[in-house]
Amino acid sequence: MSIPTEAGHVHQATDTHCPYCALQCGITLEPTPDAGEPVKLSGRNFETNGGALCRKGYSAARLLRHAERLDTPLLRHPDGGFSPIGWDEALDMVAQRAAGIRAKHGADAVAVFGAGGLTNEKAYQLGKFARLALGTSRIDYNGRFCMSSAATAGNRAFGLDRGLPFPLADLDGASMILMLGSNVADTMPPFVRHLEGARTSGGLVVVDPRRSATAELCANGAGWHLQPTPASDLQLLLGLAHVLLGESLVDHEYLARRTNGLGALRSSLAQWWPERVESATGVPAGEIRRTARALALAARAAKSGGGPVYILTGRGVEQHANGTDTTTAAINLALLLGLPGTTAGGFGTITGQGNGQGGREHGQKCDQLPGYRKITDPAHREHVAKVWGVAPETIPGPGVPATELLHTLGRERGARMLMVHGSNPALSSPDASRVIVGLRRLDFVVVCDFFLSETAAEAHLVLPVLQWAEEEGTMTNLEGRVLRRRAALEAPEMARNELWILAELARRLDSPGTFSPEAREVFEELRLASAGGLADYSGIDWDDLDAGAAVYWPCSPAQPVSREPGRRSGTPRLFLERFSHPDGRAVIVPVHHAALPEAAHQPGMVSLVTGRLLEHYQTGTQTRRVAELHAAAPEALLEIHPATALAHGIAEGQRVALANGRGRMVARARLTAGIRLDTVFLPFHFAGANNANLLTPALVDPLSAMPEFKHVPVSLYPLGDES
């Protein structure tokens, strides 16, 4: 490991991981004589990326000494401007405001909003801080917007949620992969190398209303693309399952031995014959039968030594008001084929944020304690309370999920103060204008960030924190593999680690328990708190991770950990012997399609789908500040079919207003035949009038509280013909 110099450069190479998506691609940071960049960044031969990086990853180091980097605490003036203040003054202010608001309005008047990009240690300490130092139940995080439906579906089907219950490299030899609602070719390009086996076999099947970059990978005999209407993935999956059962293509032996619930599923699928599904989805009945039969044939061959078969889902399936049921339907399909928990393939969900997996395991969620423990379970509360050194009744009960928390800011029974860590809800939240209004109603807003995001711009106090190459800690990637994040250079003099910030605030608030500013010490406590839980980290040793050990949770002390290169430890493949329900069986949960309130269109309206671009990440707080990424995608472009554009009087490059009952945003038209006539697409990385989430509804899944981001009826109005 390298030692940072006083000038912020490194003496020798440092191996760490990319700061962006959940692939957590391996990178190396090396000394550089370039005064404009503190380190030279290159890809290294790590299993998820094989040395390759995307444009975002290659350019990540340019943000470390960016001119807009926050390097001192900032206090808002009454006129809206900011001025620097010292750390003691800033932290005293936060503690005093929190204590005062708590005394006047109750502990739940102070809320905390976290992120799926925080290290495991910061996520853990943030949840502990909220519940002990603030005494509030009001904590949730932005992972509620991107993984909660998949997590809920996985827990009820398998008894445990881990995005990929197998190493990503297992996909390499696949003969067939059904991918629903994920555009990995743009969102995590190094992932594509793991699809080559399925492409070579002609078995890559992509489901997406757009002919995305991932759907293009199916061309030239590599597979096929199914292009359903937005929000009809559930019906499509029900139709595929109907064919499997109707034509007796399921794995009867597996179902009898390893699952419960087949009888109820059979009756629930009776009405979803392919011709009816075609009328609901626009996917031809022949393609539905072709896909179901191909899956069954490939699964049968896999059990006789052929390449495995996988069903993968992403946000396009999950970010709906029925996202849990849709993901459940995909799991049911995999179970009918006899895939999960076997070497013949499986089901997985592609986690998005860098620590989207670890971030949802250790206490940021409103209903959860570390180790994936339930906050309502007395035994779980007792275990965590013992580790924290408090009585179980000290720990508050469950809070409210993200959308409700953010949309009630400043209202009766809503929060009066908000602390935001590593997130930008002013852009990322559904019906974003309501969140901005709520932020402005609050008595006090504190944002911890390294750039002045749109949310930070609304804060009363902004605290500058470390970037990824300046901090120690651990991350958990989309496979459930725990990784070491290493510091390679010193941070700006006035920036601070959030562990230190939380420890200092806890001291000022006379919090019970202990709060360490050191990542390794927090990790050791996390291990104890997670011991025996579903996400058990207790057998993972910091020194083993430093040595490069490949350790997957759950990992108890009884499981030996190997440092041998290429040797996996812990539980790289889940469910091989049993699922995590008490009887060891998976649960087939019948799901039913119901019309969604937001589905109704007025004449002339189209369905808006939101998503990501190759060049940008999340709300663009980082990537919009990288010159070449911004130049490649400087604004939101509205993807629209030429025939739809003609019907609305819209020309290529023309500015278009999109509007519905929630708001109005403006984007420039980009005509493409790769999208359905009834659908338009917008990226969600942009701010101001370019913010797509001004249009998205606060409609949420009743089980997961995941918002509806992927099906929004909008009207289109051409504004002008300037290019």
Alpha-carbon span 170 to 310, nearest angstrom: 10
Q: What's the token pair of residue 158?
A: 């398998």
How many Cβ atoms are within 10 Å of 243's Cβ, its own excluded? 23
* Half-sphere exposure for 446 (CA within 13 Å, toward CB): 25
Percent of the chain that is helix, strand, coil (3-state, to 5): 35, 20, 45
**Which of helix, strand or coil describes residue 6?**
coil
pLDDT at site 594: 86
Residues in the chain: 723
Alpha-carbon span 370 to 363, nearest angstrom: 5
Which helix (H) or strand (E) segment holds residue 114: the answer is: strand 110-114
CA distances from 506 to 129, 349, 393 (A): 7, 36, 19
Instruction: Tell me the one-letter amino acid at 82.
Output: F
pLDDT at site 604: 85
pLDDT at site 5: 39
The pLDDT of 454-465, averaged and rounded, is: 98
- Give me the residue spans of the domains in the chain: 14-63, 74-144+364-570, 148-350, 601-720
| Banded pLDDT at 2 (limits 50, 70, 90) | very low
- The per-residue DSSP string of 342-358 comes to BTTEEEEE---STTTTG
Cis-peptide, bond into residue 554, ω within 30° of zero: yes
CA distances from 48 to 18, 201, 509 (A): 11, 21, 43
* Half-sphere exposure for 273 (CA within 13 Å, toward CB): 4
pLDDT at site 6: 39
Alpha-carbon span 286 to 89, nearest angstrom: 68
How many Cβ atoms are within 10 Å of 32's Cβ, its own excluded? 15
| Banded pLDDT at 671 (limits 50, 70, 90) | very high
The conformation of residue 576, written as its DSSP 8-state character, comes to S
Alpha-carbon span 351 to 30, nearest angstrom: 29
506 and 515 in contact (C-beta within 8 Å)? yes
Q: What's the token pair of residue 540?
A: 């993972």
pLDDT at site 608: 97
User: For 266-303, what is each residue's pLDDT tens digit?
Assistant: 999 999 999 999 999 999 999 999 999 999 999 999 99
pLDDT at site 603: 78
Alpha-carbon span 355 to 480, nearest angstrom: 10
Pairing of strands 26-30, 417-421: unpaired
pLDDT at residue 34 is higher than 80:
no
Domain 148-350 = CATH 3.90.1150.10: no
Beta bridge partners of 607: 679, 713
The pLDDT of 184-199, averaged and rounded, is: 97
pLDDT at site 1: 37
% of residues, the chain, pLDDT over 90: 94
Which helix (H) or strand (E) segment holds residue 94: the answer is: helix 87-105
Beta bridge partners of 538: none
The pLDDT of 212-233, averaged and rounded, is: 97
pLDDT at site 50: 95
CATH fold group of domain 74-144+364-570: Rossmann fold (3.40.50)
pLDDT at site 720: 75
pLDDT at residue 334 is higher than 50:
yes
% of residues, the chain, pLDDT over 70: 97
CA distances from 465 to 114, 298, 301, 493, 497 (A): 14, 50, 52, 11, 6
- The per-residue DSSP string of 600-639 comes to ---TT-EEEEEE--SS--TTSTTGGGSHHHHHHS-S-EEE
Q: Which residue has the higher pLDDT, 11 or 661?
A: 661
- The per-residue DSSP string of 441-501 comes to H-SEEEEEESS--TTGGG-SEEEEB--GGG--EEEE-TTSEEEEE---SPPPTT-B-HHHH
The pLDDT of 560-572, averaged and rounded, is: 94
- 354 Cβ neighbours under 8 A, 6+ residues apart: 18, 19, 20, 21, 22, 24, 116, 117, 475
Alpha-carbon span 82 to 85, nearest angstrom: 10
pLDDT at site 11: 58
pLDDT at residue 7 is higher than 60:
no
**CATH number belonging to the domain at 601-720, selected among 2.40.50.140, 1.10.3720.10, 1.10.10.10, 2.40.40.20:** 2.40.40.20
Which helix (H) or strand (E) segment holds residue 74: the answer is: strand 74-76
pLDDT at site 4: 42
Closest to 690 (Cα-Cα) out of 663, 667, 715: 667
**Which of helix, strand or coil describes residue 105?**
helix
Mean pLDDT over the full length of the chain = 95
Alpha-carbon span 495 to 471, nearest angstrom: 11
Picking from 195-199, 326-330, 489-493, which range would have the lowest pLDDT averaged per residue?
489-493
The pLDDT of 491-519, averaged and rounded, is: 97
| Residue 543 buriedness (CB in 10 A; 0-12 / 13-18 / 19+) | exposed
620 and 426 in contact (C-beta within 8 Å)? no
User: For 348-382, what is each residue's pLDDT tens digit?
Assistant: 999 989 999 999 999 999 999 999 999 999 999 99
pLDDT at residue 87 is higher than 60:
yes
Architecture of the domain whose range is 14-63: Single Sheet (2.20)
Closest to 340 (Cα-Cα) out of 570, 152, 586: 586
- 250 Cβ neighbours under 8 A, 6+ residues apart: 244, 296, 336, 337, 338
Q: Which residue has the higher pLDDT, 38 or 715?
A: 715
pLDDT at residue 3 is higher than 80:
no
Closest to 395 (Cα-Cα) out of 139, 682, 174: 139
The conformation of residue 38, written as its DSSP 8-state character, comes to S
Q: What's the token pair of residue 213?
A: 């970059």
Beta bridge partners of 659: 664, 715
Q: What's the token pair of residue 205?
A: 């099947």
**Which of helix, strand or coil describes residue 326?**
helix
CA distances from 130 to 134, 449, 509 (A): 5, 18, 11
Pairing of strands 586-587, 259-260: parallel
